[in-house]
Amino acid sequence: MGAVVLSVSVLLGGCTGSTPDAPPTESAQSTGPDGCAVAVAAIVDATQRYVDGFGPVDDVEAAPTPLPSASAAPARPSSAAPSTSAAPTDPDAVFQEALTRARVALDSAGCRGAEVVTLLEDGLADVTAQGPVAGAVLRQLRASMTGLAKPEPTTLEVAPGDDLLAAVATLPAGSTLVLAAGTHTLDDVLVLLSPITVRGAGVGSSTLESTAQDFGVLAIADGRVELKDLTLRHLGKAPANVVLAGPSVSLVATGVAISGGVAQEDGTGGAGILMYDPQSRPGGTATTLEVTDAELADNGSAGIVLTGGHVASIVSSTFRGNGQCGLCFLEGSSGSVTQGTFSDNGVGVAATGTARPTVLDSTVTEGQVGVQASDDAVPVLRGVGIRGSSRAALIWSGRAGGLIEDVTCSDVQFGLVVGPDVTPTVRDSACRLAPARS
């Protein structure tokens, strides 16, 4: 998703004596104030049509299941996610063409830059947006067309109470938004259209609190988005994932605490971080999620969910009190978890579909199940200690395979529960084997 965002110098190129790129339309033949107003009205109309194309975010449903039995797959948390249906024509190209015609009209009418900006400000104030993505696109276009957008990557600090959504709209790719110490509150989704960094003064010092429905932060940029040194918290009963990242995003979360995801009544949604990919494709090789020194706690469904082909690298992070699972690898997702701490989650680590996670040197305590694999998942566990799981330390069902090496199971009723068709390799592990009940 890439909004056409033109700088004022490009949009108003015709007002500074540049050569037109296309012949003027009939309406562009008028000159003077009336001609300027007509040209700006065309820009405003084109902007409304373009913004309308982003529309409200659609729901992608997933059939929820209860927390697994000894022979069942783990529950599958999912959520509302952006619709990916393609339009019959390229809206970016259509919008670009409309702006080019408008630039020619502005040039033909002899419009002055300041006059055009004033007309644009008045006209764009009447453009409406339905849904958080459309709103973010509109804010970014307004900032660009009226000269508020920063021309180069920059660092911008905002204080609690500042208009955070408006600030983000001014930042080009590569910029950093600094959240000063204090609590920054939002009742609308923070949509990141550009690859930027959002940095605070540290966990517990800078807090971003959201009561928005569906998402707290929605990252749909094409590139690297970084969240660093801050607390992200969803408040209230509105169903929401705290952070959702789309298929083209490379998300980096360092020194963050993320909590408060709320599941819908059917059990979907409610993740701390949801890495969304609409394609159930085999996992890729490039890392799309990097998490270091983070805490994912008290989310309705999961601390982190990866879908599609997303690939994670998670180091020295804590997953605590998440309803369905601390960390869920779904579909073809993959990645590694090193020195993870999982406590009192429904399932510590769950892998389903064809997921291929690797869990190294980690501990899993309390909760119902330590690690669970189902379908054709092939997790690798090395140096993992599991203690106090109320149902079972390990559950392997379906046709799951993988490796269980140097794993210890203590203070559990069942160690390793296996279905009839599973094929894991078990080495040097202290987990009592128990067949699954039919």
pLDDT per residue of the chain (438 residues) written in tens, 0 to 9: 444 444 334 454 445 433 333 333 343 344 456 889 999 999 999 999 999 998 776 443 332 233 333 333 333 344 344 444 444 578 888 999 998 898 888 888 888 888 888 999 999 999 999 999 999 999 999 999 988 999 999 999 999 999 999 999 999 999 999 999 999 999 999 999 999 999 999 999 999 999 999 999 999 999 999 999 999 999 999 999 999 999 999 999 999 999 999 998 887 889 999 999 887 656 567 899 999 999 999 999 999 999 999 999 999 999 999 999 999 999 999 999 999 999 999 999 999 999 999 999 999 999 999 999 999 999 999 999 999 999 999 999 999 999 999 999 999 999 999 999 999 999 999 999 987 765
**Amino acid at site 329:** F
Looking at residue 182, what is its pLDDT? 98
Residue 279 burial (CB count, 10 A): 12
Per the CB < 8 A criterion, the answer to whether 198 and 245 are in contact is: no
**Residue 244: enclosing H or E segment and its boundaries?**
strand 240-245
DSSP 8-state assignment for residue 130: -
Cα-Cα-Cα-Cα torsion 320, 325, 330, 333, nearest 10 degrees, comes to 20
Looking at residue 190, what is its pLDDT? 97
Looking at residue 284, what is its pLDDT? 63
Report how far apart, in Å, the C-alpha atoms of 417 and of each of 327, 371, 400, 420, 422 are.
20, 11, 12, 10, 10
Looking at residue 35, what is its pLDDT? 86
CA 115 to chain CA centroid, Å, is 39
In 299-396, the DSSP E strands lie at 302-306, 311-315, 318-320, 325-329, 334-338, 341-343, 347-351, 356-360, 363-365, 369-373, 380-382, 385-387, 392-396
The burial of 411, by beta-carbon neighbours within 10 Å (0-12 exposed, 13-18 middle, 19 or more buried), is given as exposed
Greatest CA separation found in the chain?
A: 86
Q: Closest Cα partner for 144 from 184, 95, 185?
A: 95
**The 240-245 sheet, strands edge to edge:** 190-192, 214-219, 240-245, 271-275, 302-306, 325-329, 347-351, 369-373, 392-396, 416-418, 433-435
- Residue identified by tokens 């040039």 is 107
Looking at residue 23, what is its pLDDT? 39
**Amino acid at site 88:** P
- For residue 432, give both structure tokens: 């009592």
Looking at residue 112, what is its pLDDT? 82
Report how far apart, in Å, the C-alpha atoms of 172 and of each of 13, 190, 195, 298 are.
20, 15, 8, 34
Q: Closest Cα partner for 296 from 323, 265, 326?
A: 326
Looking at residue 33, what is its pLDDT? 61
Helix and strand totals (H; E) in the chain: 6, 31
Per the CB < 8 A criterion, the answer to whether 218 and 242 are in contact is: no
d(CA 305, CA 269): 10
Per the CB < 8 A criterion, the answer to whether 339 and 308 are in contact is: no
Q: Closest Cα partner for 268 from 68, 59, 55?
A: 59
Q: Closest Cα partner for 161 from 140, 135, 141, 180?
A: 180
Whether pTM > 0.85 for this model: the answer is yes
The burial of 188, by beta-carbon neighbours within 10 Å (0-12 exposed, 13-18 middle, 19 or more buried), is given as middle
